[in-house]
Amino acid sequence: MIGGNISIVGKPNVGKSTLFNLLVQKHLAGATRKPQTTRHTIDGVLEEENAKYQFIDTPGLNFNIKKNFNRVLNKNALSAIYQSNLILHLVKYNQINKDDIKVLENIKNLELPKILVLNKIDLIRDKNRLMDILSKIPSEISDYYDEIIPVSSKSSKNIDILKKIIKKSLSKSKKNPIESLFNKRPIEFFTAEYIREACIRYLSEEIPYSLHVEINKYEESRKLISIAATIYLRKKSHLSIVVGKNGSMLVKISKAARIYSEKLLNKKVFLKIFVKYDPKWKESEYFLNSYD
Ligand SMILES: Nc1nc2c(ncn2[C@@H]2O[C@H](COP(=O)(O)OP(=O)(O)OP(=O)(O)O)[C@@H](O)[C@H]2O)c(=O)[nH]1
Ligand SMILES: [Mg+2]
């Protein structure tokens, strides 16, 4: 039996959560076109014949900004790396820059197999360009990886090959498979994340970054799961935007989160969302600790 923890790391917005959802065959992690969508490490299991993989999606590593919040996100991502048997370093195929090198610096000395995954190759029109791109990766970068593979998480291109490489690398890995060290996320965690994902998708740029979702009630009966959640906002002026005209935005957010929750929980969900103004959530100890 082959197994192990495989963390997916990289700078923000390269497609880590999209790849993670594809590998675990479930929509567990929020994935949107905006950077810093992921705030928590999330683990998901893929079982195949004679193999059990535990994939870990991580927040995008961001070493540029010296804010407390970013430090917490980086800490979460790095803690996943240290609990891994294998690292997938995801980059955008044509955009390896200093931010990716900073990620590499954080993983290069770890005695673990590392795979460089060049994502988003569906965006390449001329297929010959791919060979060109691969051949131009400088050896100061490529030398640190056991394998380099181009994929598309959107069109699933080369994902089967990636899985074969993962299997091969894990079987060579000297480190014993580590039992899941992550607390399994409580099921309501995912509803909170679906609400946040819908906010990121539907609200304009800055609002989703300054909000936080808490689940206040989670009750399961035979036929129905009843969930109450609160969206906390840092600015008063955001209240009317999040609620929308006649509550229309909240209805839209709630519907998206409910549909994802029903799919995951396999039951009818009744979801009630409240919106509150709380200017201090991002600085509070309680909040920062909740991101461990
Ligand atoms: N064209 C294309 N787009 C992709 C691919 N993979 C992901 N994306 C898009 O890239 C954007 C970012 O995807 P995410 O999966 O949220 O990226 P992430 O690395 O998890 O981002 P953070 O959590 O913010 O660090 C989304 O709009 C995805 O749809 C791909 O293979 N091809
Ligand atoms: Mg993500």
CA dihedral 25, 150, 143, 15 (to 10 degrees): -50
Domain of 45, in residue numbers: 2-172
* Structure letter (DSSP) for residue 96: -
CA 73 to chain centre: 11
Q: What is the pTM of this model?
A: 0.84
Residues of the chain short of pLDDT 70, as ranges, are: 65-67, 174-184, 281-292
Q: How confident is the model at residue 179, as a pLDDT?
A: 61
Together in a domain, 102 and 61: yes
Q: How confident is the model at residue 288, as a pLDDT?
A: 57
Together in a domain, 157 and 246: no
SS3 content of the chain, % helix, strand, coil (to 5): 40, 25, 35
Which atom of ligand 1 is the closest one to the Cα of 157?
31
Q: How confident is the model at residue 262, as a pLDDT?
A: 93
Cβ neighbours of residue 169 under 8 Å, at least 6 residues apart? 86, 113, 115, 146, 147
CATH code assigned at 79: 3.40.50.300
Together in a domain, 83 and 47: yes
Q: How confident is the model at residue 205, as a pLDDT?
A: 72
Q: How confident is the model at residue 180, as a pLDDT?
A: 55
Ligand 1 centroid – CA 38 distance (Å): 11
Ligand 1 centroid – CA 17 distance (Å): 7
Which atom of ligand 1 is the closest one to the Cα of 12?
25
Q: What is the pLDDT of residues 220-260, one digit of tens each?
A: 999 999 999 999 998 899 999 999 999 999 999 999 999 99
**Residues whose beta carbon lies within 6 Å of some atom of ligand 1:** 10, 12-18, 31-33, 35-38, 59-60, 119-120, 122-123, 152-154
- CA angle, 278 then 281 then 284, to 5°: 135
Q: What is the pLDDT of residues 159-180, one digit of tens each?
A: 999 999 999 999 877 666 666 5
Q: How confident is the model at residue 75, as a pLDDT?
A: 82
Q: How confident is the model at residue 83, as a pLDDT?
A: 83
Which atom of ligand 1 is the closest one to the Cα of 123?
1
Q: How confident is the model at residue 94, as a pLDDT?
A: 92
- Residue to substitute in 64, 153, 158 for testing ligand 1 pocket (most ligand atoms within 8 angstroms of CB): 153
Q: How confident is the model at residue 290, as a pLDDT?
A: 57
Together in a domain, 158 and 18: yes
- Residue to substitute in 8, 9, 11, 13 for testing ligand 1 pocket (most ligand atoms within 8 angstroms of CB): 13
What is the number of structural domains in the chain? Answer: 2
Q: Give the residue from 125, 147, 172 where a domain finishes.
A: 172
Q: How confident is the model at residue 74, as a pLDDT?
A: 83
